[in-house]
Amino acid sequence: MKTVPGLRFGGLFIAAVAAGALLGFGIELLVTTLREPLVAMIVEAINSIIHAGRFDVVLLAPYRFSWAIASYTGLGAIIALLAGLWLGAWAHRTDSSQP
The domain ranges of the chain are 13-55+62-96
CB of 84 within 8 A of CB of 19? yes
How high is the pLDDT of residue 17? 86
Query: Which pTM does this prediction carry?
Result: 0.70
Mind listing the pLDDT tens digit for each residue in 8-58? 556 667 888 889 999 999 999 999 999 999 999 999 998 888 877 766 777
pLDDT of 1 reads 47
Whole-angstrom Cα distance, residue 87 to residue 22?
A: 9
Contact 35, 69 (CB under 8 A): no
